[in-house]
Amino acid sequence: MINKPRGRRAVNLQILPSAMTVVSICAGLTSIKFALEQKPVTAMALIVVAAILDGLDGRVARILDAQSRMGAEIDSLADAVNFGVTPALVLYVTMLSTWPVGWMVVLLYAVCVVLRLARYNALQDDGTQPAYAREFFVGMPAPAGAVSMIGLLALKLQFGEGWWTSVWFLCIWVTGTSILMVSAIPMKKIHTVSVPPNLAAALLAVLAIFAAAAVLAPYILIWVIIIAYVCHIPFAVRSKRWLARHPEVWADKPKQRRAARRAIRRAHPHRRSMARLGLRKPGGRP
């Protein structure tokens, strides 16, 4: 009797996205441990690791077709821990523990992260949203808020003590970040950004520079990211308003939308300059 070779068991990868989410929670909670041990660099690094895993688990779930309601709930809870509780406690332990007002502002931040995530989950189930709304966050996303928080610690590690470590600056910054997260300001989702083919080489060069900066000047890189994100907000607001006025392009690809915007600008060459100057046509019409 000839024995047939036993086939290998199929490896079930459906659990991989949830496993990545659990690992990110472990990284976030371990970050608090290192902050309590006065190791802020390691604490910041673990928050960054949690943010990277958060950005990857959803994409892995889509690639493996492993999206589930349970996975979505775990991901939301992980965001509350990693980008709400963890940055708040790390910043409090390292920079704000000596002032009573410090606990108030980090508490505000953590609560705003939870509110922001609850609103995000509610909007996911809202079928009345227009198609283009899926391309924007409502308010600052939780990972961006966490980067904003650890940016304060990065300033101290890079430049030492100064006005940027004063309690008033820290409180204003944390409060401002908290307000941005619960605001209705649209912010572009990174995975929806399309790069024209003629700029692909330049983008790769910029990524190479970022990779080098991550090793040579990581604290400066954090603030480059923060400033770049803040600068993108006016463009995101303008883009969403333009899409709201042009439903005919909602189903178009980014390249087609850019062509449509160019065509509209050529058809109305003076509209932009008039809007900047606050001018109106006779009769009160814009």
pLDDT at 271: 57
pLDDT at 10: 46
Taking only the tens place, the pLDDT of each residue in 218-262 is: 999 999 999 999 999 999 999 889 888 888 877 777 777 777 777
- CA atoms of 149 and 47, how far apart (whole Å): 11
Confirm if 142 and 84 have CB atoms less than 8 A apart.
yes
Please enumerate in sequence order all residues whose Cβ is within 8 A of that of 239, keeping only pairs 6 or more positions apart, or say none. 186, 188
Read off the tokens for 9.
């068991």
pLDDT at 285: 47
Taking only the tens place, the pLDDT of each residue in 70-80 is: 878 888 899 99
pLDDT at 267: 76
Confirm if 3 and 12 have CB atoms less than 8 A apart.
no
Between 286 and 96, the more confident residue is 96
R_g (Cα) of the chain, nearest Å: 23
Work out the average pLDDT over 22-40.
94
pLDDT at 277: 46
Within a 10 A sphere around the Cβ of 265, how many other Cβ atoms?
A: 11
- CA atoms of 107 and 177, how far apart (whole Å): 13
Does pLDDT of 165 surpass 50? yes
Cα 171 to Cα 106, 164, 176, distances in angstroms: 9, 11, 8
CATH topology of domain 16-125+134-186+225-249: Four Helix Bundle (Hemerythrin (Met), subunit A) (1.20.120)
Between 198 and 98, the more confident residue is 98
Q: What is the pTM of this model?
A: 0.84
Q: Indicate the domain borders of the chain.
A: 16-125+134-186+225-249
